[in-house]
């Protein structure tokens, strides 16, 4: 831990951090962050708040208080929050979405830890299967999580196709970040080694899928299906892909990785990733690994 982290650890003044979301009942973020506060010896508490879109401005303004470290954001606030912030990281500005707000002496700085968190989790999921690290990728969705995924995959030089129920939203995303907006039937699936569900399809509903009636046999045998949804741990998308013999992973790894990066930005303390993963395992014991982080 660095000097700044030691000073914060020694502080006895209670501090607060939040998650703003709508809905919010699915989140496991408080379990992770409160475990990390304990691991770092910090007197602080993380809570999830149900914030509706019309309430976002007031909720963000409340983060300027001296005892607030910052907040995480998930559906539907990652893009809508931008006008309420004082500054943005280069990644957040490029992606056009913020999942982490840091209170810097009353000035609110927006960052995006989804993109690096996704790449870290993806690397772990691809371990031992180098074929999935090359070739084309498909991102499902066009919201804040999808923007982070496209930004991350494009940074690796991959060809990325974006599919969304509203094609114009996919086209807008690709205009900003690169990639190619496509209708599902126009994707060259035989060249796709990675599918990323960055939509909310399946969130809280194990029977919902972003790819109804999809023939997973049209993909290469080495393809990986990565679902950012983590609750339920086993979505219909993952069940169907696994039944077809493909590798799958859900969103808990990304959730832990992006949470750790946000926590480090607030506190300068660097708890091991196992602190976050263990907290997730204790609160969702059947999970193997939100849009929805956090």
C-alpha 202/C-alpha 242 separation (Å) is 16
Beta strand 100-104 pairing with 68-73: antiparallel
Among 5-19, 69-83, 212-226, 279-293, the minimum mean pLDDT is found in: 279-293
pLDDT of residue 12: 62
Q: Is 164 annotated to bind ligand?
A: yes
CB neighbourhood size of 72 (10 A) = 29
Q: Which residue has the higher pLDDT, 258 or 75?
A: 258
User: Is 232 in contact with 206 (CB distance < 8 Å)?
Assistant: yes
pLDDT band at 243 (very low <50, low <70, confident <90, very high): very high
pLDDT of residue 111: 98
| Annotation marks residue 78 as catalytic | yes
DSSP annotation of 163 reads E
pLDDT of residue 291: 40
Structure tokens at 267: 């506190």
Q: Is 224 annotated to bind ligand?
A: no
Q: Is the confidence at residue 9, as pLDDT, over 60? A: no
CATH 3.40.50.10860 domain range(s) in the chain = 15-111+258-281
Residues 6+ apart with CB under 8 A from 261: 100, 113, 116, 117
pLDDT of residue 5: 46
Q: Is 222 annotated to bind ligand?
A: no
CATH 3.40.50.720 domain range(s) in the chain = 116-249
Max CA distance (Å), the chain: 58
Beta strand 224-227 pairing with 192-197: parallel
CATH number 3.30.365.10 is the correct assignment for the domain at 15-111+258-281: no
User: Is 190 in contact with 133 (CB distance < 8 Å)?
Assistant: no
Name the packing angle between helices 114-126 and 252-267 (round to 10°). 140
Q: Is 129 annotated to bind ligand?
A: no
CB neighbourhood size of 120 (10 A) = 20
Provide the mean pLDDT of the chain.
Answer: 91
pLDDT band at 284 (very low <50, low <70, confident <90, very high): low
Q: Is the confidence at residue 169, as pLDDT, over 80? A: yes
Q: Is the confidence at residue 165, as pLDDT, over 80? A: yes
User: Is 113 in contact with 121 (CB distance < 8 Å)?
Assistant: no
Among 56-60, 100-104, 203-207, 255-259, the minimum mean pLDDT is found in: 203-207
Q: Is 251 annotated to bind ligand?
A: yes
DSSP annotation of 276 reads H
DSSP annotation of 144 reads H
Average pLDDT over residues 79-87: 97
pLDDT band at 75 (very low <50, low <70, confident <90, very high): confident
pLDDT of residue 25: 83
Name the packing angle between helices 144-155 and 114-126 (round to 10°). 60
- 8, 78, 231, 240: the catalytic one is 78
Among 9-18, 33-42, 193-202, the minimum mean pLDDT is found in: 9-18
pLDDT of residue 248: 96
pLDDT of residue 287: 36
Average pLDDT over residues 233-243: 94
β-pair partners for 18: 47, 71
Average pLDDT over residues 250-266: 97
pLDDT of residue 293: 45
116-249 has which CATH code?
3.40.50.720
Q: Is 267 annotated to bind ligand?
A: no
At residue 112, φ and ψ (nearest 5 deg) are -130, 105
Q: Which residue has the higher pLDDT, 102 or 283?
A: 102
């Amino acid at each position: 831990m660095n000097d700044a982290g030691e000073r914060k650890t020694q502080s006895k003044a209670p501090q607060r951090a939040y998650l703003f979301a709508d809905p919010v009942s699915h989140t496991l973020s408080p379990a992770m962050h409160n475990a990390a506060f304990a691991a770092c010896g910090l007197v602080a508490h993380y809570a999830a708040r149900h914030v509706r879109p019309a309430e976002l401005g007031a909720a963000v303004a409340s983060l300027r208080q001296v005892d607030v470290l910052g907040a995480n954001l998930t559906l539907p606030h990652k893009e809508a929050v931008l006008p309420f912030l004082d500054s943005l990281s280069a990644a957040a500005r490029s992606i056009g979405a913020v999942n982490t707000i840091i209170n810097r002496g009353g000035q609110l700085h927006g960052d995006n830890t989804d993109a690096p968190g996704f790449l870290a989790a993806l690397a772990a999921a691809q371990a031992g299967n180098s074929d999935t690290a090359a070739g084309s990728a498909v991102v499902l969705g066009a919201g804040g999580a999808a923007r982070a995924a496209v930004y991350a995959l494009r940074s690796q030089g991959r060809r990325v196709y974006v599919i969304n129920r509203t094609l114009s939203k996919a086209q807008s995303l690709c205009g900003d970040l690169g990639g190619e907006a496509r209708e599902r039937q126009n994707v060259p699936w035989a060249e796709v080694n990675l599918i990323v569900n960055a939509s909310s399809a399946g969130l809280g509903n194990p029977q919902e899928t972003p790819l109804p009636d999809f023939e997973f046999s049209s993909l290469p045998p080495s393809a990986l299906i990565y679902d950012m949804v983590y609750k339920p741990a086993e979505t219909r998308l993952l069940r169907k892909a696994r039944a077809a013999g493909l590798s799958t992973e859900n969103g808990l790894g990304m959730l832990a990785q992006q949470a750790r990066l946000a926590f480090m930005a607030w506190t300068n303390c660097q708890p091991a990733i196992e602190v976050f993963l263990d907290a997730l395992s204790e609160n969702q014991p059947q999970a193997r690994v939100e849009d929805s982080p956090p």
